[in-house]
Amino acid sequence: MTSRERAAELDAVDELAGLRERFALPADVIYLDGNSLGALPASTPARLARVIEHEWGERLIRSWNEADWFTTPARVAGRLAPLIGADADEVAVADSTSVNLFKLLVAACRLRPGRRTLVLERGSFPTDVYIAGSVAELLGGELRLVDGPDDLPDALDETVAVLSLTHVDFRTGALWPAREVTAQAHRVGALAMWDLCHSAGALDVDLHGWGADLAVGCGYKYLNGGPGAPAFCFVARRHQDGLATPLPGWHGHAEPFAMGLDYAPAPGIGQLAVGTPPMLSLIGLDEALSTMDGVSAKSLRAKGQRLTSLFIELLDQWCPDLVLASPRDPRSRGSQVSYRHADAYPLVQALIERGVIGDFREPDIARFGFAPAYLRFVDVWDAARHVRDALAAGEHRDPRFAARGAVT
């Protein structure tokens, strides 16, 4: 790829190009952080304004019935299910990913009585390790950490209740081969659970095809639900009869308004609801998912691979000294590209000043996410050119860019 015109040609034949206009992106920004906080769908402000002013402001409590607030979690789950290769009644939308990890890790141990070992990757997103550590402690079990696929044969034995992995590594973008690893867990009788935070909405997640037992993921990255949007859980239908949540809240009760003191779980996945859903955020997620109606996960994945490959190709050419932290093979990479650099933090800040928004992860990772729903190939070309120019001008050495914010 030698000219911006060639990138424009790729956009001209991109079957997903029309999706971009469903998002309200600032004209002067190339947004490479949709893997952290997704972009604002163009229709969300009007939808939320209507919900706030009419459904809440005028109709008040009546909206739980009239505006179907009560059934919104199930409706949103139904919209999400096709993007992760699941059926609607296997998905619950509620709480944060961290809380859902707790619910499902305990439920996994209960589904495998007599087994109390949880296996996770050391490089998992930290919340996964914190929560699994707490579950192991509460249940008198063991948390076993692996460093990669080579450690699995030793780590997986008959004591393991659940192998819980983050599908896409949040630092490097490296991808676990989910189908093979799920089968590996099953061979010792363990359940396989996937954290899909960096996958849902960008990768061809196929929970049925993988044979996955459980999954969690968030609504605010590639699903564009907005800051702090509710997260989701997946429980394969075959496990739902024996499912026992450790957080039996009233919204997961079979008859929440009977107000009985005995807990009777709602059938199936319904028991994973806990308390009153954050309706404004949930409706934000509903609206965001409606922008993806009919979009196949396979086409998002194919475009994401092409976008990330182009970025790597350009930076190989223009900045040969940059150290790629992500896998070169697009099949082993999520929808992000990470580089290691001694000045990664100030480099990212310099790029943000240029209008190219990525982020930094400890200790030395400059991370660029490529949301296939709204990024163009010309954006990739322009972003790579800004990286080249910022490095050539030594902007990463400017002390202005060294001061750290609370969120990096």
Ligand X SMILES: Cc1ncc(COP(=O)(O)O)c(C=O)c1O
Pick the catalytic residue: 22, 79, 221, 333?
221
Residue 190 corresponds to which tokens in the numbers above? 């363990």
Nearer to ligand X among residue 281 and residue 305 (C-beta): 281
Under the criterion CB under 6 A, does residue 134 sit at the interface with ligand X? no
> Does the annotation count 221 as an active-site position?
yes
Which DSSP string do the residues of 81-148 spell out, in sequence order?
GGGGT--GGGEEE-S-HHHHHHHHHHHHHHHSTT--EEEEETTS-HHHHHHHHHHHHHTT-EEEEESS
Is 166 an interacting residue with respect to ligand X (CB under 6 A)? yes
Contact status: 289 vs ligand X (CB under 6 A):
no
| Cα angle 229, 383, 408; round to 5 | 45
Contact track, ligand X, 70-109, x by CB under 6 A: --------------------------xxx-----------
Residue closer to ligand X by CB (options 20, 167) is 167
Examine the residue annotation and report whether 367 is marked as an active-site residue of this protein: yes
**Residue 195 marked in a binding site:** yes
The CA distance from 262 to 92, in Å, is 23
Nearer to ligand X, 218 or 312 (CB): 218
- Annotated ligand binding at 128? The verdict is yes
User: Using a CB cutoff of 8 Å and minimum separation of 24, what contacts does 140-146 make?
Assistant: 140/116, 141/109, 141/116, 141/117, 142/116, 142/117, 142/118, 143/117, 143/118, 144/117, 144/118, 144/119, 144/120, 145/119, 145/120, 145/121, 146/119, 146/120, 146/121, 146/122
Q: Does 296 bind ligand X (CB under 6 A)?
A: no
Q: What is the 8-class DSSP label of residue 381?
A: H
341 among the known binding-site residues? no
To the question of whether residue 95 is assigned a binding role by annotation, the answer is no
- Given the residues 115, 303, 367, 376, the one annotated as active site: 367
Binding mask 174-213 for ligand X (x = CB under 6 A): ---------------------x-xx---------------
In angstroms, the CA 142 to CA 187 distance is 20
Q: 31, 69, 170, 360: which one contacts ligand X (CB under 6 A)?
A: 170
Instruction: Give catalytic residue positions.
Output: 125, 195, 220-221, 367
Q: Which residues bind ligand X (CB under 6 A)?
A: 96-98, 125, 127-128, 166, 170, 195, 197-198, 218, 231
